[in-house]
Structure 1
Amino acid sequence: MSKKRRTFDAEFKLQVVKMIKDEGLSVGQVCRDLDLGETAVRRWLGQFEAELSGQRGIGKPLTAEQQRIRALEAEVRRLREDNALLKKAFGLLRPGTEVIYRRIAQLQKKAGNVARMCEVLGVSRSGYYAAQRRSGRKTKVCPVSVRLQAAFVRSGRCYGSRRLQATLRSEGIKLGRHRVRRLMRAHGLQATWKRKFRHTTDSRHGLPTAANVLDRQFEPAAPNQAWASDITYLRTRSGWLYLAAVMDLFSRKIVGWAMAPTMPAELVCSALQRAITQRCPAPGLIVHSDRGSQYASEAHRRLLERHGLRASMSRKGNCWDNAVMERFFLNLKMERVWQRDYANQAEAKRDVTDYIVGFYNSVRRHSKRGYLSPNAYERNWTEKHPIVVSENT
Structure 2
Amino acid sequence: MSKRKQHRPEFKAKVALEALKGEETISELASRFGVHPTMIHQWKRALLEGASGVFERSGKKTPQIDEDQVKDLHAKIGELAVANDFLGQKAQALDRQVRRKMIEPDIPNLSVTKQCALLSISRSSFYYEPKGETDMNLDLMRKIDKQFLETPFFGVRQMTWHLRNEGHAVNEKRIRRLMRLMGLMPIYQKPNTSKAAKGHKIFPYLLRGLHVDRPNQVWCYDITYLPMRRGFLYLAAIMDWNTRKVLAWRISNTMEAGFCVDALNEAIHKFGSPDIMNTDQGSQFTSFAWTDCLRRSGIRISMDGKGRFLDNIFVERLWRSMKYECVYLHAWETGSQAKAGIKKWMDFYNQKRPHSALGGKPPATVYRQKIETINPDQQEQRVA
Shorter-chain TM range is 0.3 to 0.5
TM-score normalised to structure 1 length: 0.47
Larger radius of gyration: 1
What TM-score comes out, normalization by structure 2 length? 0.48
Instruction: Answer 1 or 2: higher relative contact order, Cα 8 Å, separation at least 6.
Output: 2
